[in-house]
């Protein structure tokens, strides 16, 4: 017994008996199918403050001591809990990945985020048996580190002690399942669209195979460092890796955005404003001039329709997919960035992103992980339950194009490659932007061909907007004014930031910025959207339903007679329903009214006109 173990042994045993007796009995019954005792950190704190503090500072020793104590507890059943683990959950030391510093090394911490990569589960040797080829004796060497250890002290056989040769005996060695994961900051925790950071995780035994990319988790464990190797030796830099002790799954509706009761009051107050609709729409990208229809549609996308789970087990998505197609330099990218900022969970990416996973997901052989196959979730997986804004979609990879069909409609991504079969979730709304292949959009050419996307894929978008850059002196002057004004306001804003507390300055700046400032500030808008999506599930009134059906059937009739670029199918009806529901959600209303239906039809008509159905 080590010093720490004997010091804490009595206390730990008493803790287990007082707090976890039933759980231990259950573990003993199920062992070895169940191998972990899950301990709530707050229980340790309640039991003994000193012990809980010691645990955070010296987790390695304390976990060993706890597992030793667990093994020695007298059980009513005949069981040896030799390989049982003590797994601690709900640790208070929640640290964001970008705040990890060397002071956290060897401490017990909790990291929250989304799983981005997961390798295959593979055995790792923990105790290697070396057979001495001279005397036949088996020498065991514990394998605790990353590097394979050989019997340096020589054969332990009586009167032998020779330095080999040895032969490793697999059948007498001990192995454990091991899996490497990569966790990444969740989109809702990123401020201002910054790039997410990630951390490597080592998991073993019964923790393996438990998560897939896209899962939201809290991982509790010990932060370790691993020395980097250079071509000609070792580096003075170390990489961080978290040795997982326990994994907590966050439920799918988990919402990180904290909405206080004051926020809620403000949200409800806003929702009662008869002008709420206009206020929300004008708070979408106020620094972009014009595009009222598009901003309206983007607002609806933020609020989203309602998911429907049908009795036969199938599911109709509530997420609204929108595509912006058009000439370069007309603020498509800007609109995308704005939506990401307003979405409670937004992910921005480009179709030509270099990562292997691309937009959907990939199984790659990752040399970082000793050449093991690794599943990596792409943007649509990481945007699960949010909005994925994909710029330059025309430049996306061919594999992504085919995977997108499933990702957009079923909202899952299936991988079957090299013996790996996995299904990842991608329950997000897609906001795409594409530039036409030949630089400028030609309104007499087919849309699908110009942005090199198959019509079947285009038909999965609820709305497609075509933006043309036609010189118009009047409009150009207005845009120019607007742009210069927002630049000027931006500068003043920066100055104001540098001079907090100067009221004279503030008043002056406020006056100058009138046009550009959103009516509803982004922070409260994000909360408003999150609140609506979580609490409001509108149902359609009869006259709204009749109105939509009439519009749809008429559309089918005209669609048939013309050669439309995007066929009018039942998908359009579903899209109309989603948009109307989103429209009701804007005022936090549980009923979709005729007005919502009419608004939806107006937006849809404008869109169809652009793509050439009229
Ligand atoms: P795109 O992605 O369509 O090629 P960008 O989003 O990169 O275009 O826009 C190019 C620049 O032009 C941006 O700085 C944007 O703010 C500006 N811009 C273009 N149209 C407008 C507009 N209607 N209002 C304000 N700024 C605009
Ligand atoms: Mg662009």
| pLDDT given at position 501 | 47
The model's confidence at residue 575, banded by pLDDT at 50, 70 and 90, is: very high
| pLDDT given at position 462 | 93
CA 334 – ligand 2 centroid, Å: 7
Say if CB 599 and CB 547 are below 8 A apart.
no
Over the stretch 379-391, which tens digit does the pLDDT of each residue have? 899 888 899 999 9
Who contacts 560 (Cβ-Cβ below 8 Å, separation ≥6)? none
Task: Give nearest CA residue, ligand 1 atom 17.
Answer: 331
CA distance linking residue 608 with residue 554, whole number of Å: 13
177: three-class secondary structure by DSSP: strand
Ligand 1 atom closest to residue 336's alpha carbon, by position in its atom list:
6
Torsional sign, CA 448, 355, 380, 385: negative
Over the stretch 311-350, which tens digit does the pLDDT of each residue have? 888 889 999 999 998 888 888 999 999 999 888 888 888 8
**Closest-approaching ligand to the CA atom of 486:** 1
Over the stretch 32-47, which tens digit does the pLDDT of each residue have? 889 999 999 999 999 9
CA 339 – ligand 2 centroid, Å: 14
CB of 329 sitting under 6 A from ligand 1 = yes
- Using alpha carbons, select from 466, 370, 392, 439 the residue that is nearest to residue 178: 370
CA distance linking residue 414 with residue 473, whole number of Å: 50
Q: Which two structure tokens, joined as six digits, stand for 377?
A: 């979730």
CA 158 – ligand 1 centroid, Å: 81
Q: Which two structure tokens, joined as six digits, stand for 280?
A: 């929300």
Mean residue pLDDT of the chain comes to 84
Over the stretch 168-191, which tens digit does the pLDDT of each residue have? 888 888 888 989 999 998 877 776
Kindly report the number of other CB atoms within 10 A of residue 557's CB atom: 10
CA distance linking residue 320 with residue 509, whole number of Å: 37
Q: How many CA atoms lie within 13 A of 158 on its CB side?
A: 0
Task: Give nearest CA residue, ligand 1 atom 9.
Answer: 331
CB of 333 sitting under 6 A from ligand 1 = yes
pTM of the complete model: 0.80
CB of 301 sitting under 6 A from ligand 1 = no
Quick one: average pLDDT of 388-416? 87
Cis peptide before 165 (omega within 30 of 0): yes
∠ Cα 185 190 191 (to 5°)? 160
The model's confidence at residue 6, banded by pLDDT at 50, 70 and 90, is: confident
CA distance linking residue 573 with residue 118, whole number of Å: 39
Quick one: average pLDDT of 501-522? 55
**Closest-approaching ligand to the CA atom of 337:** 1
Percent of the chain with pLDDT over 70: 87
Who contacts 198 (Cβ-Cβ below 8 Å, separation ≥6)? 97, 113, 116, 182, 183, 184, 185
Who contacts 77 (Cβ-Cβ below 8 Å, separation ≥6)? 25, 28, 29
148: left (phi over 0), alpha (psi -120 to 50) or beta: beta
| pLDDT given at position 401 | 83
- Using alpha carbons, select from 86, 83, 82, 77 the residue that is nearest to residue 15: 86
The DSSP symbol for 437 reads: T
Task: Give nearest CA residue, ligand 1 atom 14.
Answer: 331
Quick one: average pLDDT of 435-450? 76
pLDDT higher than threshold 70 for residue 473: no
CB of 332 sitting under 6 A from ligand 1 = yes
Q: Which two structure tokens, joined as six digits, stand for 528?
A: 């408003």
CB of 439 sitting under 6 A from ligand 1 = no
The model's confidence at residue 507, banded by pLDDT at 50, 70 and 90, is: very low
CA 434 – ligand 2 centroid, Å: 8
CB of 483 sitting under 6 A from ligand 1 = yes
CA distance linking residue 382 with residue 360, whole number of Å: 9
Quick one: average pLDDT of 20-37? 89
| pLDDT given at position 614 | 35
* Cα Rg, the chain, nearest whole Å: 30
Ligand 1 atom closest to residue 486's alpha carbon, by position in its atom list:
25
CA 351 – ligand 2 centroid, Å: 11
| pLDDT given at position 508 | 41
CB of 238 sitting under 6 A from ligand 1 = no
| pLDDT given at position 584 | 96
Task: Give nearest CA residue, ligand 1 atom 10.
Answer: 329
CB of 225 sitting under 6 A from ligand 1 = no
More confident residue, 557 or 465: 465
CA distance linking residue 9 with residue 16, whole number of Å: 11
Kindly state the helix (H) or strand (E) to which residue 242 belongs, with its residue range.
strand 233-249
* Helical residues (DSSP H) of 283-359, grouped into ranges: 292-303, 332-342
First to last CA, the chain: 83
CA-CA distances (angstroms) from residue 271 to 198, 578, 589, 603?
Answer: 38, 20, 9, 22
| pLDDT given at position 504 | 41
Quick one: average pLDDT of 71-77? 84
CA distance linking residue 529 with residue 386, whole number of Å: 11
Quick one: average pLDDT of 59-80? 88
| pLDDT given at position 564 | 56
pLDDT higher than threshold 90 for residue 301: yes
Q: Which of 285, 328, 330 to mutate to test the pocket of ligand 1 (most atoms within 8 A of CB)?
A: 330
Burial class (CB in 10 A: 0-12, 13-18, 19+), 501: exposed
CB of 331 sitting under 6 A from ligand 1 = yes
CA 478 – ligand 2 centroid, Å: 21
The model's confidence at residue 267, banded by pLDDT at 50, 70 and 90, is: very high
Task: Give nearest CA residue, ligand 1 atom 25.
Answer: 288
Quick one: average pLDDT of 410-433? 87
* Helical residues (DSSP H) of 376-519, grouped into ranges: 379-382, 398-409, 447-450, 455-458, 473-498, 503-513
Task: Give nearest CA residue, ligand 1 atom 18.
Answer: 331
Question: What is the maximum span of the chain, computed from C-alpha positions, in angstroms?
Answer: 99
pLDDT higher than threshold 60 for residue 275: yes
Please name every residue paired with 420 in a beta bridge, in sequence order, or none if there are none: 417
Quick one: average pLDDT of 406-427? 85
| pLDDT given at position 253 | 57
CA distance linking residue 264 with residue 270, whole number of Å: 10
The model's confidence at residue 578, banded by pLDDT at 50, 70 and 90, is: very high
The DSSP symbol for 157 reads: S
Ligand 1 atom closest to residue 335's alpha carbon, by position in its atom list:
6
CB of 290 sitting under 6 A from ligand 1 = yes
CA distance linking residue 14 with residue 80, whole number of Å: 19
395: three-class secondary structure by DSSP: helix
CB of 437 sitting under 6 A from ligand 1 = no
CB of 328 sitting under 6 A from ligand 1 = yes
| pLDDT given at position 452 | 80
The model's confidence at residue 466, banded by pLDDT at 50, 70 and 90, is: confident
CB of 330 sitting under 6 A from ligand 1 = yes
| pLDDT given at position 494 | 58
CB of 284 sitting under 6 A from ligand 1 = no
Say if CB 280 and CB 532 are below 8 A apart.
no
Over the stretch 222-258, which tens digit does the pLDDT of each residue have? 999 887 777 777 777 778 999 999 999 886 555 667 8
CA 56 – ligand 1 centroid, Å: 51
CA-CA distances (angstroms) from residue 499 to 344, 349, 493, 495, 496?
Answer: 30, 35, 10, 6, 5
The model's confidence at residue 136, banded by pLDDT at 50, 70 and 90, is: confident
| pLDDT given at position 356 | 65
CB of 288 sitting under 6 A from ligand 1 = yes
CB of 477 sitting under 6 A from ligand 1 = no
Quick one: average pLDDT of 397-422? 84
106: three-class secondary structure by DSSP: coil
Ligand 1 atom closest to residue 331's alpha carbon, by position in its atom list:
6
Task: Give nearest CA residue, ligand 1 atom 16.
Answer: 331
CB of 308 sitting under 6 A from ligand 1 = no
Q: Which two structure tokens, joined as six digits, stand for 208?
A: 């393996």
CB of 178 sitting under 6 A from ligand 1 = no
Q: Which of 286, 465, 483 to mutate to test the pocket of ligand 1 (most atoms within 8 A of CB)?
A: 483
CB of 334 sitting under 6 A from ligand 1 = yes
Over the stretch 589-613, which tens digit does the pLDDT of each residue have? 999 999 999 999 999 888 766 654 3
| pLDDT given at position 609 | 67
CB of 482 sitting under 6 A from ligand 1 = yes
* Helix, strand, coil percent values for the chain (each to nearest 5): 40, 25, 35
Q: Which of 326, 331, 350, 515 to mutate to test the pocket of ligand 1 (most atoms within 8 A of CB)?
A: 331
User: Which residue carries 């932007």 as its tokens?
Assistant: 433
- Using alpha carbons, select from 612, 324, 338 the residue that is nearest to residue 463: 324
């Amino acid at each position: 017994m080590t010093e720490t173990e004997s010091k804490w042994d009595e206390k730990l045993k008493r803790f287990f008996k007082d707090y976890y007796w039933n759980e231990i009995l259950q573990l003993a019954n199920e062992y070895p199918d169940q191998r972990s005792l899950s301990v709530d950190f707050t229980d340790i704190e309640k039991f003994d403050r000193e012990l809980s503090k010691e645990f955070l500072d010296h987790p390695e020793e304390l976990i060993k001591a706890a597992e030793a104590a667990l093994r020695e507890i007298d059980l009513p059943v005949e069981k040896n809990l030799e390989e049982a683990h003590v797994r601690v959950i709900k640790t208070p030391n929640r640290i964001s990945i970008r705040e990890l510093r060397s002071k956290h090394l060897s401490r017990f911490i909790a990291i929250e985020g989304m799983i981005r990569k997961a390798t295959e589960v593979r055995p790792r040797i923990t105790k290697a048996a070396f057979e001495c080829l001279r005397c036949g004796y088996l020498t065991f060497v514990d394998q605790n580190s990353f590097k394979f250890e050989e019997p340096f002290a020589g054969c332990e056989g009586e009167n032998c002690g020779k330095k080999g040769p040895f032969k490793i005996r697999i059948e007498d060695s001990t192995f454990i399942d091991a899996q490497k994961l990569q966790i990444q900051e969740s989109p809702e925790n990123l401020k201002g669209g910054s790039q997410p950071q990630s951390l490597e995780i080592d998991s073993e035994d019964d923790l393996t195979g438990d998560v897939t990319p896209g899962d939201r988790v809290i991982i509790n464990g010990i932060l370790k460092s691993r020395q980097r190797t250079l071509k000609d030796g070792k580096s003075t830099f170390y990489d961080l890796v978290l040795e997982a002790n326990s994994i907590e799954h966050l439920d799918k509706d988990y919402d990180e955005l904290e909405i206080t009761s004051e926020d809620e009051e403000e949200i409800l107050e806003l929702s009662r404003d008869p002008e709420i609709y206009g206020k929300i729409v004008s708070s979408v990208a106020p620094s972009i001039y014009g595009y009222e229809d598009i901003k309206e549609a983007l607002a609806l996308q933020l609020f989203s329709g309602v998911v429907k789970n049908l009795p036969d087990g199938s599911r109709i998505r509530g997420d609204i997919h929108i595509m912006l197609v058009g000439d370069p330099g007309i603020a498509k990218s800007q609109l995308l960035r704005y939506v990401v900022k307003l979405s409670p969970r937004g992910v921005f990416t480009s179709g030509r992103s270099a990562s292997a996973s691309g937009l959907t997901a990939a199984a790659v052989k990752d040399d970082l992980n000793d050449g093991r196959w690794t599943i990596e979730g792409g943007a649509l997986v990481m945007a699960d339950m949010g909005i994925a804004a994909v710029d330059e979609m025309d430049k996306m990879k061919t594999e992504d194009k085919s995977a997108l069909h499933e990702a957009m409609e079923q909202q899952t991504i299936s991988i079957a490659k090299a013996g790996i079969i996995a299904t990842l979730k991608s329950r997000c709304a897609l906001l795409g932007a594409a530039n036409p292949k030949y630089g400028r959009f030609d309104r007499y050419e087919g849309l699908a061909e110009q942005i090199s996307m198959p019509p079947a894929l285009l038909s999965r978008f609820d709305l497609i907007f075509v933006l043309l850059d036609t010189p118009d002196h009047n409009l150009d002057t207005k845009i120019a004014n607007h742009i210069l004004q927002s630049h000027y306001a931006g500068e003043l804003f920066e100055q104001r930031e540098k001079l907090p507390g100067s009221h004279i300055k503030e008043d002056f700046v406020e006056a100058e910025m009138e046009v550009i400032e959103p009516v509803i500030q982004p922070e409260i808008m994000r909360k408003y959207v999150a609140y609506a999506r979580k609490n409001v599930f509108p149902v359609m009134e009869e006259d709204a339903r009749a109105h939509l059906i009439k519009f749809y059937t008429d559309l089918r009739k005209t669609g048939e007679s013309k050669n439309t670029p995007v066929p009018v199918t039942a998908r359009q009806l579903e899209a109309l329903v989603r948009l109307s529901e989103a429209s009701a959600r804007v005022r936090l209303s549980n009923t979709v009214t005729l007005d919502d239906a009419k608004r939806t039809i107006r937006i849809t008509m404008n869109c169809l006109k652009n793509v050439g159905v009229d």
